[in-house]
Amino acid sequence: MNQRSLLHSVLHALRSALVGKSSNITHLTQLPHRPPTRDPDQWRAYWASQGQKWRTEPEIDKERQAYLAQRRLIPPDIEHGIYPFKDIKLDRADVEWLLATLDGRGPVDWGDESQREREGLDVRGADLRRGDLQKLPLARLIGGLKLDEWRDVTQGQRDMAAVHMEEAKFTEAHLVVHSLNA
C-alpha cells in the first residue's frame, strides 16, 4: 500500500470514528421532550429520564400549577384553621408536582442527612382520600400539628389541621413524618 492510500485509510478511519462519536455525543446530550400525549407509559419514561422515577402521571396543566403555587404561598394559621391546601382535593399528579417543586429543591431526600431537618410537603387539611400515593418520596410530610401545637389548641383546630388520607394507597411510599415533638 502506498503512502497516499495509507494516509487516505487513516483519515477515513478517523473520520468514521469522529462521526460515530459526535453522533453518540449528540444522542447523549439531547434532552428528552415532554410527551405530547397523556400516555402514562411515555410520561413514566420521561420522568425516569429526569431522575424522578417516583413520578408516574402526566404533568398537571399550567393553570393547575399556578393555582397550587398560589395556594402554597398561604401561611398556615392554626388558630383560624388556615392551611395552603385545606379542603382541596389533591390527586397523585398534584402531589407529584408539589413534591417536584418543593422549595425549588424537590422532595426531601431522607438518605441525605443534611436534608433531614427540611420541611416536607405541608398537606394539613388537604383531601388525599382514595389517592394513589404509592412509591412517593413523602419524607418530612406535614399532615397535622406538632405535639407542642396540639396541646394548646381545641379539638376543632386539631381536626382542621388533619390531612384526610382515608383509603389512600401508600404502598412503598417513603413516609417519614415530623415527629410529634419536633
Residue 54 forms part of a structural domain? no
Q: What total number of domains does the chain contain?
A: 1
Q: What is the mean pLDDT of residues 97-107?
A: 96
Residue 18 forms part of a structural domain? no
What is the structure's pLDDT at 104?
93
Of 143, 134, 137, 136, nearest to 110 (Cα)? Answer: 137
Q: Rounded to whole angstroms, how far apart are CA atoms 96 and 92?
A: 6
Residue 107 forms part of a structural domain? yes
Mean pLDDT, rounded, of the chain? 84
Q: Rounded to whole angstroms, how far apart are CA atoms 180 and 68?
A: 27
Phi, psi of 82 (to 5 degrees): -105, 125
Residue 172's pLDDT band (cuts 50, 70, 90): confident
Q: Rounded to whole angstroms, how far apart are CA atoms 21 and 18?
A: 5
Other C-beta atoms closer than 10 Å to the C-beta of 164 total 18
The residue range of the domain holding 86 is 60-161
What is the structure's pLDDT at 9?
52
Q: What is the mean pLDDT of residues 70-78?
A: 97
Paired residues of 142 in beta bridges: 122
Torsion of CA 99, 100, 104, 108, to 10 degrees: 50
Q: What does pTM read for this prediction?
A: 0.78
Counting beta carbons within 10 angstroms of the beta carbon of residue 169, is it exposed (0 to 12), middle (13 to 18) or buried (19 or more)? middle
Q: Find cell 410529634 and name the residue.
A: 180
Residue 33 forms part of a structural domain? no
